Amino acid sequence: MDPKYRARAPVRLHLVAAALSLAGWAAFAQGPAAVVSHAEGILSHSPPGEKEWVEAKPRTALSRGDRVWTDRGARAELQTGVHTLMLDAQTLLALQAAGEGATQVSVTHGSVAATVPQIAPNENFEIDTPNVAVRARQPAALRVDVDRQQGTTRVQVQSGVVLVYGEHGQVVEMRAGQRITFSARNLARAPTPFATAADEFDKWTMARMKQPAAAVAAAAPAMHPDRLAKQRREELAREQAEDKRFAQALARSQKNTPPSTEPVQSPISVAQAKAAEEAKRAAEAKAVAEAKAIAQAKAAAEAKALAEARAAAEAKALAEARAAAQAKAAAEAKAAAEAKAVADAKAAAQAKALAEARAAAESKALAEAKAQGKAAMDAKALADAKAAAEARMMAEARAAAEAKVMAEMRAAAEAKALAEARAALEAKALAEARAAEPKVAAQTRAAARHAAESRRHEARQAAETRRIAETRRASDAKRVAELKRAQQAEAKRVAAAQAKSRAEEQRKLAAAKRAQEAQRVAAAKKAKEELRIAAAKRAVEAKRRAEEEKQLAQQRSVHLARLQEAARKDEQQQAERTAARREAERKEAQAKRDEQARREAELARREEQLRREEQARRDAARPLIINQPYRPAPQGIPFRKVS
């Protein structure tokens, strides 16, 4: 627990210590004690043994011994296993233990609402306060309000059953709907106001309970179980020793307190009464010395608590300044991120424009490639057509040449056959002529006629062949000329199409350039507008940050003033309490001295009375011999005493 509140430490029960020592070791060796599942406003936490307070955000893991503080206007929700703890503004909570077997927290100031959805028979869920200890007996929902100034603790049960323990083992069972205010550690009750409508914290807790449970990430592994067990045993030993010393001091103070009324004494001797009175005075002096030592120890503890409170306030102010510096650094980082985002946007715009230009160039190159491919295809088609025409012409020429050769070969064969036939006929005719001159002459004439006829026929055939060849050559020349004209027309059409395509491509390229230029101008205008908007946003953000920093500085100054005022009030109250306590001690010491003087006077009176009674008894016990004066007797009168 924070030494700041050690003067009014929460109730420590040996039963709780035993339960924790038996059931809590497994829980202490597992994971974090709690996790911040939700936070609104400024939430700070301090590890055990540290005086520095750091900001806690959602998903922050808390260990055993951590202290949690919610600033003014802040609220928080902690998840300890299946249990939920909700803290109101200006609440100081310390995590004593949390796990599957035991959950124990200490609340020294503020309001805490707890939800216990399930609890095992050997499980413990406990909230310690300066006056009482509240333990859930079954699944329950409760609220605990600690007022440090009035010294009261109010416990309100919404559902389930809880047990409230006092300092000496007193127990009060509370059920759903009950609300009790305790003003002391012995379960003394203070007047509790009638139930009113739910306040803002109740509404907030109900709204939080209606929401689904937030998933929290697993935190870093905890300490080694042996080290945790050793640390827990040392803490339990220290707490038991403190409880034992406190109980012994209380018993001694109660035992040595003198009674308010004087006991009835039986008649004793003066020596025995004096010895008893001296022993009584020694006991009273010892009790006064012990009370003075206890008061001095208490004053030293209060002074130490005050110094630690002042140190905690200074540490908190330093933590707030550090948090402000972190917030400023975060704001600067945010501004840098925004500038980087603007630069990235500008670079993205430039990259987009470059990509669009590259895409336009690629589309242009693709179009040109398509045009070139189309022209190549057209040229190839033209070349193929030309080659086909040439091949056809060559085939036709080859066929004509072959036909001519065949015709010539046939003509040669026919001429040869005719020559052979003529030679045979001539030889036959010569033979026949020789045989018969007249007949030969006739046959010669017939052969001459036949030869002339054959020559005429050959001449006609040669003329026909020449005519056919001329006709074929003229036809081939005509076809070649037509093919050339067709090729020229196709070339003109292809050239016209290419020119038209190039003109269309140039028109499209010009349109694309104009569109790209318009887009570039629009992008430049947009980038300029974005820069202007970003500059305006930065100006607004800078103004807002300046206002926030100003408000934060004002809040820090106000909070620091409040802390200083609270520390001053605490010091003043502490001084007043110290003065009142010293005045009470002085009055008590004066009353004791007066009582001691009265008793001494009474004892002296009784001693004197006893002495006188003893003297009277002695005087009564011995004979009274009084030497009376004698006078001379006259003559004639006998001797006698004078009475």
Q: What is the mean pLDDT of residues 21-33?
A: 48
Q: What is the pLDDT of residue 321?
A: 66
Q: What is the pLDDT of residue 126?
A: 94
The residues near 473 (Cβ < 8 Å, ≥ 6 apart) are 400
Residue 11 has pLDDT above 50, yes or no: no
Residue 475 has pLDDT above 80, yes or no: yes
The predicted-structure confidence for 355-368, as pLDDT tens digits, reads as follows 777 777 677 767 77
Strand partners, 453: none
The predicted-structure confidence for 219-253, as pLDDT tens digits, reads as follows 433 444 455 456 556 766 776 676 666 567 656 65
Q: What is the pLDDT of residue 433?
A: 62
CA distance 459 to 27: 133
Rounded to 10°, the helix 437-621/270-435 angle is: 180
Cβ atoms of 77 and 2 closer than 8 Å = no
- Per DSSP, the chain holds a count of helices (H) and strands (E) of 6, 17
Q: What is the mean pLDDT of residues 14-19?
A: 41
Burial label for 162, CB within 10 Å (0-12, 13-18, 19+), is: buried
Q: What is the pLDDT of residue 16?
A: 40
C-alpha separations of 62 from 29, 36, 95, 112, 138 in Å: 14, 8, 8, 17, 26
From the centroid of its chain, how far is CA 530? Answer: 32
Q: What is the mean pLDDT of residues 415-424?
A: 75
Q: What is the pLDDT of residue 629?
A: 55
Q: What is the pLDDT of residue 87?
A: 97
Q: What is the mean pLDDT of residues 302-325?
A: 69
334 vs 591: which has the higher pLDDT: 591
Give buried/exposed letters for 48-73 (b at 16+ CB in 10 A, else e).
eeeeebebbeebbbbbbbbbbbbbee
Residue 311 has pLDDT above 90, yes or no: no
527 vs 337: which has the higher pLDDT: 527
Burial label for 77, CB within 10 Å (0-12, 13-18, 19+), is: buried
Residue 165 has pLDDT above 90, yes or no: yes
User: 34, 132, 129, 42: which is closest to 85 by C-alpha?
Assistant: 34
C-alpha separations of 394 from 154, 388, 408 in Å: 120, 9, 20
pTM for the full model? 0.34
C-alpha separations of 141 from 107, 138, 160 in Å: 17, 10, 7
CA distance 533 to 527: 9
Taking only Cα atoms into account, the Rg of the chain, rounded to an integer number of angstroms, comes to: 65
Q: What is the mean pLDDT of residues 258-276?
A: 47
Cβ atoms of 469 and 400 closer than 8 Å = yes
The predicted-structure confidence for 174-214, as pLDDT tens digits, reads as follows 999 999 999 999 999 988 776 666 789 999 999 998 875 44
Q: Tokens at residue 173, please?
A: 């069972």
Q: What is the pLDDT of residue 18?
A: 40
Residue 29 has pLDDT above 90, yes or no: no
Instruction: Supply the DSSP string of 336-373, one letter for each residue.
Output: HHHHHHHHHHHHHHHHHHHHHHHHHHHHHHHHHHHHHH
Q: How confident is the model at residue 277 (pLDDT cuts 50, 70, 90)?
A: low
Q: What is the pLDDT of residue 462?
A: 85
Q: What is the mean pLDDT of residues 167-175?
A: 91
Residue 39 has pLDDT above 90, yes or no: yes
Pairing outcome for strands 67-70 and 43-46: antiparallel
The predicted-structure confidence for 395-410, as pLDDT tens digits, reads as follows 777 777 677 777 777 7
CA distance 126 to 122: 13
Q: How confident is the model at residue 145 (pLDDT cuts 50, 70, 90)?
A: very high
Q: What is the mean pLDDT of residues 329-347?
A: 71
Whether the CA torsion 167, 169, 175, 178 is positive or negative: it is negative
Query: Mean pLDDT in the chain?
Result: 77
Q: How confident is the model at residue 554 (pLDDT cuts 50, 70, 90)?
A: confident
Cβ atoms of 136 and 162 closer than 8 Å = yes
Q: What is the pLDDT of residue 601?
A: 93
194 vs 281: which has the higher pLDDT: 281
Pairing outcome for strands 124-128 and 102-116: parallel
Q: How confident is the model at residue 622 (pLDDT cuts 50, 70, 90)?
A: confident
The residues near 57 (Cβ < 8 Å, ≥ 6 apart) are 36, 39, 43
Question: In the chain, pLDDT over 90 holds for what percent of residues?
Answer: 25
Q: How confident is the model at residue 169 (pLDDT cuts 50, 70, 90)?
A: confident
Instruction: Supply the DSSP string of 21-82, one letter for each residue.
Output: HHHSHHHHTSS-SEEEEEEES-EEEE-TT----EE--TT-EE-TT-EEEE-TT-EEEEEETT
440 vs 255: which has the higher pLDDT: 440
Q: What is the pLDDT of residue 71?
A: 93
Q: What is the pLDDT of residue 218?
A: 39
Of 45-49, 56-60, 421-425, where does mean pLDDT reach its minimum?
421-425
Phi first, then psi, for residue 193 (nearest 5°) are -65, 155
C-alpha separations of 13 from 18, 128, 296 in Å: 9, 10, 26
15 vs 110: which has the higher pLDDT: 110
Question: In the chain, pLDDT over 70 holds for what percent of residues?
Answer: 71
Q: How confident is the model at residue 287 (pLDDT cuts 50, 70, 90)?
A: low
C-alpha separations of 339 from 285, 424, 538, 548, 564 in Å: 79, 120, 9, 20, 40
Instruction: Supply the DSSP string of 311-328, one letter for each residue.
Output: HHHHHHHHHHHHHHHHHH
Q: How confident is the model at residue 298 (pLDDT cuts 50, 70, 90)?
A: low
User: Which amino acid is present at 43?
Assistant: L
Residue 348 has pLDDT above 50, yes or no: yes
Q: What is the pLDDT of residue 142?
A: 96
Residue 23 has pLDDT above 50, yes or no: no
CA distance 202 to 88: 9
Residue 583 has pLDDT above 50, yes or no: yes
Q: What is the pLDDT of residue 640?
A: 53
